[in-house]
Each structure stands twice: as C-alpha cells, then as structure tokens.
Amino acid sequence: MTTEPSTTRPAKNQPSAAKRQLRRSLSLREAAAEFWRHPSPWMIGGMLVAVAAARFAVGDWQPTDALVPLALLAAFPLVEWVIHVFVLHWRPRRLLGLTVDSLLARKHREHHSAPREVPLIFIPWQSLVLVIAALLMVGLLAFPRLGLGLTFLLSVAAMGLVYEWTHYLIHTDYKPRHRLYRAVWRNHRHHHFKNEHYWFTVTTAGTADRLLGTYPDPESVETSPTARNLHAAAPTGR
C-alpha cells in the first residue's frame, strides 16, 4: 500500500506538525464539519437544493427521467478521467505570445505540491461559478423538455457533491473502514504519492483507469520524483 512518505520535506503552506498530529484521529463528523467550512460544497449544495425544488415543482415525470442519472453514472468515471488528465494536469503552453494556463490547472499543481492543505482540495470557487453557469445553460436549453433538463441538473449536482466529499475525505486523516472506500482511497493516494501519471479517477477505483490503461500494478510502477511538482523535469543520473 502506498502511503505518504514521512521523510518528505513539508511543502509551503502545509499545516504545521502539531496541526497534522491533531488530525490523526479525525472522525467522520469532524471531517464533515470541516467540509462545510469551504465554498464549493455550499455552492454545489445550494444548486442541488434549488434544482430539486424546481424539479418537483415542474413535475412532468417520464421514463426518460430515469435514463438521465443512469447515463451520467455510467459516464462519470470517464468524465473524471478526461477532466483530470486534460484540464487539471494541463501543461502551460505559449500561444500567440500568451501563456495558456487555467486557474484549475494552477490550483491543481498547488494541490499536488501540498496534498494535505485542505483549501487546495476543493474546486476553486471562481472556476465553479463558470461551471455552474455553463451547466445551467445546458440543462435549460439543450433538452426537449424543462423537466428532463432539471433532472440532468439535479443528477449532476448530486454527483458533483459526492465528488467533492470523496476527494476531500481521501485527503484527510479519516481512515477507510469499508472495502469500497478503501479501494478508492488507495487509488487516489497512489496518484499523489506513487506516480502522477496513473490512477486518475477519484470517486471510483479501477473503472476508467482500467479502460484507458492507467491502472497498473503499483508494484510495477516506479515512484515518480515529480508527483509533488507536476511538469518539472525529473532528476537525471539515477
């Protein structure tokens, strides 16, 4: 099992040793209390509540409303993988004299450099505002009926909240107690502390990664020297 190396020099902005020690016995209730101190859970939760109220007010339930969440559940691991690889792990590029580098990518690099820094775990609220606006446009304009669009938005909001909670919990000192969560926890910690080029799904383990070839046997993978410093050149002469 891959765990965080105890000899790693703390990155800038990481919690002090005393604070880390206090988090060793974190309970699920304490983790939840900290979770709701950050903007993105409230933003996604607020969207969930508002859309749920609108969906039940509109009514017009049809069989296709059951297909939307099922399709999204099936696609979610692939969506996670694509966003993680191509958005969060975006390598800054020069285009027409300008550096193309999103806030999401910059914050994710900070997250890799300090994976225990709690504020860096969450989706930046500035980016989330744009994501929610885009989703609302899709939900309200791209579906043949309003009820179906609201079902889409309700499903996306619920999955988004599960994503934020799962990702946050993995980076706390709450210890896995069930087999399913233990697999998800181990998968993501391999990504952070073993090799950043593999294990890209967050809420599942061995789904899209298996399909897309990024789920190797951890024992066969060399520990990456750049997992905490994305896109840096690996040391030579090893």
Q: Is residue 18 situated within a structural domain?
A: no
- Could you give the residue ranges of the DSSP H alpha helices within the chain? 17-22, 28-35, 39-58, 64-83, 103-113, 125-141, 146-170, 179-193, 208-212
Write out pLDDT tens, residues 56-92: 999 999 999 999 999 999 999 999 999 999 999 999 9
pTM of the model: 0.86
pLDDT band at 238 (very low <50, low <70, confident <90, very high): very low
Q: Is residue 191 situated within a structural domain?
A: no
pLDDT at residue 6, rounded to an integer = 41
Domain with 101 in it: 27-176
Find out whether 156 and 135 touch, Cβ atoms under 8 Å: yes
Q: Is residue 118 situated within a structural domain?
A: yes
Q: Is residue 39 situated within a structural domain?
A: yes
Q: Which residue has the tokens 């500035």?
A: 126
Q: Is residue 220 situated within a structural domain?
A: no
How many domains does the chain contain in total?
1
**Is 166's pLDDT higher than 90?**
yes
Q: Is residue 213 situated within a structural domain?
A: no
Q: Is residue 141 situated within a structural domain?
A: yes
Q: Is residue 22 situated within a structural domain?
A: no
Residue 23, CA distances (Å) to 44, 118, 126, 171, 221 in order: 26, 12, 28, 11, 30
Find out whether 28 and 174 touch, Cβ atoms under 8 Å: yes
